[in-house]
Structure 1
Amino acid sequence: MKIKWFGHSCFMITSKQGTKILMDPYINMLGYKLPEIEAEIVATSHEHKDHNNIDAVKGNFVHINGLGIFSEHGIDIRGVDTFHDKFSGDKKGRNTIYNFKVDDINVCHCGDLGHILDTKQVEEIGKVDVLLVPVGGGYTIDATDAVEVVKQLKPTVIIPMHYRTKALGPMGLAFAKVDKFIEASGIKAQTYKDLELNKENIENYKGIAVLNYK
């Protein structure tokens, strides 16, 4: 599979069969800008406009925006109920974590997770090989809580998201930089343009994989 980051919490996974899964497309308000994009599956973690802009996506896609177990285009998907804050959703609402099984690798996208997981949520999410986790704080968990979520889910590869970058401009001041998470984790980090993973090579990428926004 290939994993590409479009900034914020938006990623594209392309399976070895060519199936494209897009996660949390945003409106062009953040400093990031989505290119023209097509996908077979679009998943949105919650209804905030910086995560649910499905109108930006071309093609005849399936929209996944709920809880439970789904199977689309040969991709198994599990949606698990969580919250956008530490107050059971009273401040910012609910959030769905998705675990996608692609090419026999489990990729977990945390959306705008706002809290450390409980035991039931960890069990529902299941096995995680690649974790896409917010680390910037402000609107989501911060670096310290993100480290705890990593410990809970035990992924091989950790890809941070939802943190301050130069592309964000003044809006970026609401988020911490990715360096804070790397330092708090004590895990080695490497930077990549994108990732191409399979069952044979995933151990070579063990640790934190910081993806460049282009």
Structure 2
Amino acid sequence: MLRFPVFAVIFLLTVAGCSVADAQERPSRPHVSQCQAVAQSLPQATFASFTGSAPTPANDSVGGDVKITFLGHATLFIETPGGVSIATDFSGVFPPPHTPDVVTMNKAHPSHYTLTPDPAIKYVLHGWSDTPGEPAKINLTVGDTLIRNVVTDIRSLSGGVEANGNSIFIFEVAGLCIGHLGHLHFELNDKQYAEIGRLDVVMVPVDGGLTMGADSMSRVVKRLRSSLILPMHRWGPPIQQFLTMFGPDFDVAYAPTASTTISLKTLPRKPLIYVLKGL
């Protein structure tokens, strides 16, 4: 009478063991985003950063630290509690300390992508689609991190507009919502803000014109109202040109190193523009 249940248990344990092994070799099934707006029918809503406790993806490392290191230009290196490593807007010019599991790319300029990445990189995510005009669609879970994108238009080399040429990549890990604006050329619309949802940390280009002017970029940052703002992609104007766009509602600090370590518990309560060393 007990033979069938025993074999059933053995079978289930065997399947479970295989699933764990497989998960180490391929990404998990995508989880539902915890950072997107709950009600996307509220176009005028401002998505404030989060300071309490919130549900996180099933495989998330709750309470862990995320390390972010500025490597150069728009490439930052993200290391998660679960051991996933990600290089943003990766061109290969600014190599990370070790081969990343994931690289994201945008194509506004060659300094934001490479068509010959190291074959050892498991996941190469393009912020553009191979079909002109079509949006790239990314919703991928790698280890403890959900990676998704929100597309934006860019200025084309001919002076026109190329639809869906840039992706804002969003990394959801350890209860945090971390966004990289990529090569953002235009202020976001209500639909895009809703698709982004909450961003606790945002990496923002501060070149003053190659992407957007400091005033336009500051309006995006103010509406996102992330707890931690990490400037990147400085080319030409001094960082002060960007910083002068913000009043007393934002703090400013300069990091002693190129890295910062954050968690849900250590996010600043007042929005902080944190200039990593090397910018």
**Relative contact order higher in (CA < 8 Å, ≥ 6 apart):** 2
Q: Provide the residue aligned with 1:39 in structure 2.
A: 100
8 Å contact from structure 2 (residues 108, 183) kept in 1: no
Query: Per-residue deviation at 1:176?
Result: 1.7
Match of 2:254 among 191, 196, 199: 191
Query: Per-residue deviation at 1:44?
Result: 1.0
Change (3 A) 1:112 1:146: same
Q: Does 1:84 align with 2:145?
A: no
Q: Provide the residue aligned with 2:203 in structure 1.
A: 132
Give me the whole-angstrom Cα distance separating, in 2, the residues matched to 1:138 and 1:100: 26
8 Å contact from structure 1 (residues 46, 111) kept in 2: no
Change (3 A) 1:157 1:35: closer
Change (3 A) 1:178 1:80: same
Deviations 1:102-132 (CA, angstroms, capped at 9, x unpaired): 2111110000001110000000111100010
Structure 1, 155-164 or 35-44: larger mean CA deviation: 35-44
Give me the whole-angstrom Cα distance separating, in 2, the residues matched to 1:206 and 1:109: 17
Query: Per-residue deviation at 1:84?
Result: 2.4
Q: What is the identity, as a one-letter code, of the residue corresponding to 1:99?
A: I
Aligned residues: 199
In structure 1, list runs of 5 or more residues that go unmatched.
Answer: 165-174
8 Å contact from structure 1 (residues 156, 202) kept in 2: yes
RMSD (Å), alpha carbons: 2.5
Structure 1, 115-124 or 136-145: larger mean CA deviation: 136-145
Change (3 A) 1:80 1:35: closer
Give me the whole-angstrom Cα distance separating, in 2, the residues matched to 1:188 and 1:205: 7
Q: Provide the residue aligned with 2:89 in structure 1.
A: 24
Q: Provide the residue aligned with 1:100 in structure 2.
A: 171
Query: Per-residue deviation at 1:213?
Result: 2.0
Give me the whole-angstrom Cα distance separating, in 2, the residues matched to 1:156 and 1:85: 29
In structure 2, list runs of 5 or more residues that go unmatched.
Answer: 1-65, 127-135
Query: Per-residue deviation at 1:26?
Result: 2.7
Query: Per-residue deviation at 1:90?
Result: 2.5
Q: Provide the residue aligned with 2:143 in structure 1.
A: 73
Change (3 A) 1:27 1:106: same
Larger radius of gyration: 2
8 Å contact from structure 2 (residues 82, 143) kept in 1: no
Deviations 1:144-192 (CA, angstroms, capped at 9, x unpaired): 111111122121100111113xxxxxxxxxx322111111122321111
Identity of aligned residues (%): 26
Q: Provide the residue aligned with 1:170 in structure 2.
A: none
8 Å contact from structure 1 (residues 157, 206) kept in 2: yes
Deviations 1:20-66 (CA, angstroms, capped at 9, x unpaired): 011012354xxxx4356411111113363101126455734211223
Give me the whole-angstrom Cα distance separating, in 1, the residues matched to 2:101 and 2:220: 29
